Amino acid sequence: MKHRTILWPVSGLLAATVLAATPLAYGTSSTDTPPTASSVSSPSTAPTEGAVMAHMFQWPWDSVARECTDFLGPNGYDGVQVSPPQEHVVLQGEGFPWWQDYQPVSYQLDSRRGDRSDFSEMVATCNEAGVDIYVDAVLNHMTGSGSVESGPGSAGSEFEKYSYPGIYENSDFSECRADISNWDDPDEIRNCELLSLADLRTGEEGVRSTLTGYLNDLIDLGVAGFRIDAAKHVPPQDLEAIVSRLDGDPYVFQEVIEDSAISPAEYTGTGEATDFAYSEELSGTVRDGSLAQLKGINGTEALNSDQATVFVDNHDTQRNDPTLTYKDGDPYNVATAFMLAHPYGTPKVMSSFDFEDPESGPPAASNGMTSPANCEDEDWVCEHRQQPVAGMVEFRSVAAGSGVTDWWDNGNDQVAFGRGENGFAVFNRGADLSRTFQTSLPEGTYCDVASGSVVDGRCTGETYEIDTGGVLSASVASDSVLGLHVGTRL
């Protein structure tokens, strides 16, 4: 496998200490409610086949709650990945960069996105709207050495690197106090420091208990699952030990960037793993226009479809390796719609804040608290609301259980395929396309979900006829998508 020079792969934890007995770890402000068994709402297990999640990157809790009610739930999104909720460093001198959040100071739920009660209300509101919350869990490390090496953090806690009063002390961190330098050595990748971030001894019982306590607290609040940040930098057996002690059966997907030393397959005993090979292949192929090469796309060899979390871009690749992002406009939507239509992996739709400088944080008040997010404000991109994206969310769920049928391509930049009797989609990165397609759809009039939706029984976009033989005559413009499924047969 390719060796990646990107700096954020994650791994290893071991620390020792203070256990769950530390009330500090759960927030101390007066609005905090202690976790109690009675507040447990049972978390869902792995998303069902056909489920789609949105990554509401850096969205504040109140705004996520509103979007769950207004759009995500009604449009069939099953889950949301939210940015890390724990206390983090505050780097005012650096303009509050987005990556503050990946330097935990404590496990109090008090961040630039809101406090514990905001978080808890968001979870309840989203759950009410049928949307699960998946928390980005930073377990590998605490803070780094940078411009600010000591507190206070976003909840007011004092700290220094390797010393987090009431939570971790020096002995809870890996012996290796140097940056990972040999990326061919799994031990180094897992037990030395990623980006000089204080590396937790996750093999140590006290550290495991503290991390389990944090995650179980979130589950108590109704959280349904976790993205494990920097999973590659944590020994798989440590993650397994931590996850096996969680309440209920949370959905877990682990951030593992495959390289010569570490395979995502090492992590599939604990949950899904991120499929970066799929992202590179999809994103690169759509960018180059050669869609025919996507026939049978199945990501990294190390993962099966039900073990892979897939995406076109994520918050790191859109900055470091921007093959395709929202900045590419229509081709980006073609890629996302393809991912949603094609039955591989558990798809994640990116939802970004607009940026020029890759370091910039989201729109914020002068104290660093993130400003409310909404899709009318162009600072928030809202890829998840783009019609060819949002329309294909329901397509995926309607098509669940049907494999790819009726594949057609022009050998180049135009492809079409069906999902048996349930759906049919066309993707065009070439010139305007007009032709007849053989589908397996039942006869009828269909609303194209890539151009509109059914409102009060009427299609707000284009409608198409499927004749008795399943034949479709359609015109699909350059850089656009057509999506028909039986849920929108008029």
Q: Which partner from the list ligand LM2, Ca ion, none does 99 bind, CB cut-off 5 to 8 Å by kind? A: ligand LM2
**Per-residue contact flags (x/-) with ligand LM2 for residues 312 to 331, judged by CB under 6 A:** ----x---------------
233 near Ca ion (CB under 5 A):
yes
Nearer to Ca ion, 118 or 199 (CB): 199
The stretch near ligand LM2 (CB under 6 A) out of 8-16, 72-80, 183-191, 206-214 is 8-16
Q: How far is the CB of 39 from Ca ion (least distance, A)?
A: 32
153 near ligand LM2 (CB under 6 A):
no
Q: How far is the CB of 201 from Ca ion (least distance, A)?
A: 8
Q: How far is the CB of 113 from ligand LM2 (least distance, A)?
A: 16
φ and ψ at residue 388, rounded to 5 degrees: -65, -20
The stretch near ligand LM2 (CB under 6 A) out of 14-22, 195-203, 263-271, 340-348 is 195-203
In order of 46, 85, 126, 202, 243, the CA distances from 226 in angstroms are 11, 12, 16, 17, 10
Nearer to Ca ion, 7 or 21 (CB): 7
340 touches 395 (CB < 8 A)? yes
Count of Cβ atoms closer than 10 Å to residue 92 Cβ: 12
78 touches 132 (CB < 8 A)? yes
Nearer to ligand LM2, 10 or 335 (CB): 10
Annotated active-site residue in 229, 259, 272, 281: 229
428 touches 418 (CB < 8 A)? no
Q: Rounded to 10 degrees, what is the CA torsion of 306, 308, 312, 315? A: 130
437 touches 402 (CB < 8 A)? no
Active-site residue, 217 included: no
Structure tokens at 402: 């049907």
At residue 389, what is the residue type? V
Annotated active-site residue in 255, 281, 448, 479: 255
Residues in 102-161 that interact with Ca ion by CB under 5 A: 140
8 near ligand LM2 (CB under 6 A):
yes
Helix (H, G, I), strand (E, B) or coil at 381: coil
Q: Which of 68, 126, 135, 138 binds ligand LM2 (CB under 6 A)?
A: 138
Residues 6+ apart with CB under 8 A from 295: 407, 409, 415
φ and ψ at residue 243, rounded to 5 degrees: -70, -35
Q: Which partner from the list ligand LM2, Ca ion, none does 12 bind, CB cut-off 5 to 8 Å by kind? A: Ca ion
Active-site residue, 255 included: yes
Count of Cβ atoms closer than 10 Å to residue 470 Cβ: 17
* Interface positions with ligand LM2 (CB under 6 A): 8-10, 99, 102-103, 138, 144-146, 195-197, 229-230, 255, 316
